[in-house]
Amino acid sequence: QDNHSLSVEPGVIRGLHFQTHPSPQSKLVRCTRGRILDVAVDVRRGSPSFGQHVCAELSAENGHQLYIPVGFAHGLCTLEPNCEVQYKVTGYYDPAADKGVLWSDPDIGIKWPLEGREPILSEKDRAQPILADLPDYFPFER
């Protein structure tokens, strides 16, 4: 499935989202207009990197992409007006499997580049649980 989103304002935060079994998704994300900070968070309980995150700036200019594997939550912050993000996912959207973790969880510690602005968030993203309260959706196996 291909997904396409438009965020008009800078400071829009989307995430942190993932899908659980039976419909987990990997994502390949790129920004085709504007600039975003793209984030992946390991939510595989028992993983040596559980709760850690990586960030990458994606833009139309740099052409970079970020791969988000199953077991990782995905989020982004728009850095410019009118950002278009396109991402390919390995499975279809499943509302029953759609889950998330709170974008501002201090245990994850993402430094969102808001430059003094208040984030623009959906109600869904404001209400996500913190990482410590997530069920064990993705048991880590060595």
- For the annotated catalytic residues, the residue numbers are 17, 87
Cα–Cα dist 19/36, whole Å: 22
Q: Is 56 exposed, middle or buried (0-12, 13-18, 19+ CB in 10 A)?
A: middle
Q: Is 104 exposed, middle or buried (0-12, 13-18, 19+ CB in 10 A)?
A: middle
